[in-house]
Amino acid sequence: MSRRFDERKLLTRRAFMIASGQALLGAIVISRLSYLQIFRSKHYKLLSEKNRIVTKLLLPERGKILDCNGNVIAKNIDTFSAVLDLTEVDDLNIVLNKIKEHIVVNDDILFINKRKQKLLLLKENLNWEELAVLETLSSYLPGLSIERTLVRKYIDSEAISHIIGYVGKPTKYDFDTTKNMAFLMPTAQIGKCNIEKKYEYKLFGRSGIRHYEVNARRQIVREIDETKSIPGEDLPLTIDMDLQNFVYKRMSEHESGACVVMNVHTGAILAFVSYPGYDTNLFTKKIDRTTLHELYQNPYKPIINKAISGLYAPGSTFKMITGLAGLKKGIIDENTNFSCNGVFKIGSYKYHCWRWKYGGHGYVDLEDAIAESCDTFFYNVAMRLSADDITDVAKDFGLGLPTGIDLPNEKSGIMPTNAWKKSMRSISWTKGDTINMSIGQGYTLATVMQLTKMIAMLVNGLQPITPYLCKTKQFFKMSPLKYKEEHMRIILNGMNKCVNGKTGTARSSKSLKMPFGGKTGSSQVCRITAQQRKEFKTVSDDYWKKEHALFTGYAPVDSPEYAICVLVEHGGGGATKAAPIARDIFEYIKSRSDLQVV
């Protein structure tokens, strides 16, 4: 009896322990289910939705770029690209090998965005045969998709290369300047330089989103919803493409140079050429290294924007500034004369006038000194001025300062002073420095754009202007500079005589169709040696040692509307090489009754 009781007691204890264990296990399961279904339901629902729903960004159509007449100069063309989402791929090698059986892929292009999701751009610009094959493969290869791509196409690309620039694939450096998620797509293209970069925020637009439902094999079942992308804005420019092409063709008669044509009253740029240009369409797709190397090693520097980034001694085109500085300080007036015999001496140093081998100019006043470009007159003025006197006037007219043009990478140039030389060269300024500066040589450096702005302000009533290329940019009128009217009359008369006078340096380029004025310049790149002077040579036979030819001018003479600056690198004389180009451009403008003056 006792034994049966003990066995029953043991069974009861075991049953209790088993039941307790089951109850505990059940409680654990119930609590876990409660936790998952109540407290973590949103999390797992989201994971489930991610497995069921795929989100794709939709690239917006990039805005077109137009000239002032509404002609399209940068547009978009439809192409298709193959993209592989690496987050959807278990074995990349197997998938790539399968794809390579049908097409040649660019498997070296790996794009990694900020979220560390990897998208592989397999191939761009698919032809119809490749498109058909990949569409079939995408039905059973996870992660493979065909994306519609809009590729930039430039019209007259070489002529506008330094205005428009080009687009390209975003890099890690671009992510610091934008939060637009569409930039993370491997098929996206963003502005890399010039107008394309400057107005990226207008041209790119806003990306859209499309949601798809997919099955367990990640195949698309249906489209759920879509938020459409918003196209970028079309961007009208002040450039007249017919004029632009004419200027580019005219500049192509020389090896290298730059030219800007601008409205003197508003700063609107009608033509902007840096020659040689380059085919910007090369950069909208993957450019091969050989082509890129040829562009960067070209001795005529087609990649450099010579109009705003090339720095040149302005030469005699600077003499109006020195003349104004002398008038402003009261050390000369319209009756001041200096004698020029071709050589100006300070102690043992000799400074030559460009007519040194002809015995100089004789006695000249300021008007004739500008018209005939007499260096000796300005040497005499420089002896009575400081560097700061000249620099102050130069900066009033925009030299040594960015012009503010709506293009990136503009250089400021150099308008030197005593303090500048001490900080840069650790030596003091000399009177010889001022003499060199007075004729636009020495340390003085300017851009073609700055010289165009300078000439515009000299003839527009001293109205400060900011050059611009985007037609919708707002124009602000500022207070005019304060220079005496009689002083400006002397300067303008000198520039008029330069072209239309009997002894002016640009008289051979005089135009009856479009009377214009201006100033020639020859910017030395190296000293004329004593041996060359003995041989009566003023220009080197070596192309790379020849002077830069310059002309800054305006038209019409009586009521100026247009300012121009022409630079022919290593062209020799400004009167023989640069001034004829300006004449031809002004005459072309005169022939265009439909030309818009923005």
From 232, 275, 268, 267, select the one nearest 251 (Cα to Cα). Answer: 275
Tokens at 186, concatenated: 């491997």
What residue ranges of the chain have pLDDT lower than 50? 44, 46-47, 110-115, 176-178
Tokens at 523, concatenated: 């910017």
Q: Which residues contact 36 (CB under 8 A, 6 or more apart)?
A: 44
Give the residues across from 75 on adjacent strands.
153
**Alpha-carbon span 28 to 50, nearest angstrom:** 29
Residue with tokens 């451009």, as numbered in its chain: 585
Residues 380 and 351 sit within 8 Å (Cβ to Cβ): no
- Full-model pTM: 0.86
**Alpha-carbon span 373 to 428, nearest angstrom:** 29
Model confidence over 83-142: pLDDT tens digits? 877 777 777 777 777 777 777 776 555 444 434 556 777 777 788 888 888 777 777 777
Count, residues in the chain: 598
Say if strands 65-66 and 235-236 run parallel, antiparallel, or are unpaired.
parallel
**Alpha-carbon span 408 to 402, nearest angstrom:** 11
The reply to whether omega before 515 is within 30° of 0 (cis) is no
Give the residues across from 154 on adjacent strands.
74
**Alpha-carbon span 507 to 516, nearest angstrom:** 11
Give the rounded distance of the alpha carbon of 364 from its chain centre: 43
Q: Which residues contact 447 (CB under 8 A, 6 or more apart)?
A: 307, 308, 309, 310, 311, 312, 403, 410, 411, 413
**Alpha-carbon span 36 to 516, nearest angstrom:** 85
Residue 212, phi-psi category: left (phi > 0), alpha (psi -120 to 50), beta (remainder)? beta
Residues 478 and 463 sit within 8 Å (Cβ to Cβ): yes
Q: Nearest-5° angle of CA 336, CA 357, CA 254?
A: 100
Say if strands 338-340 and 362-364 run parallel, antiparallel, or are unpaired.
antiparallel
Q: Which residues contact 232 (CB under 8 A, 6 or more apart)?
A: 60, 61, 62, 63, 202, 203, 204, 205
**Alpha-carbon span 252 to 580, nearest angstrom:** 14
Q: Which residues contact 547 (CB under 8 A, 6 or more apart)?
A: 315, 522, 523, 524, 525, 539, 570, 571, 572, 573
How far CA 169 is from CA of 80, 87, 185, 258, 289, in Å, comes to 15, 21, 9, 29, 16
Model confidence over 200-220: pLDDT tens digits? 989 988 888 877 776 665 566
Total Cβ atoms within 10 A of residue 440:
28
What was the pLDDT predicted at 97?
Answer: 79
What was the pLDDT predicted at 228?
Answer: 86
Percentages helix, strand, coil for the chain, rounded to the nearest 5?
A: 40, 20, 40
Tokens at 59, concatenated: 């690239």
Residue with tokens 């503010």, as numbered in its chain: 404
Q: Nearest-5° angle of CA 31, CA 32, CA 34?
A: 65
Model confidence over 539-579: pLDDT tens digits? 667 888 889 999 999 999 999 999 999 999 999 889 999 99
> Phi and psi at residue 314, in whole multiples of 5°?
-70, -15
The burial class, CB within 10 Å (0-12 / 13-18 / 19+), for 96 is: middle
How far CA 575 is from CA of 274, 448, 571, 587, in Å, comes to 20, 17, 10, 17
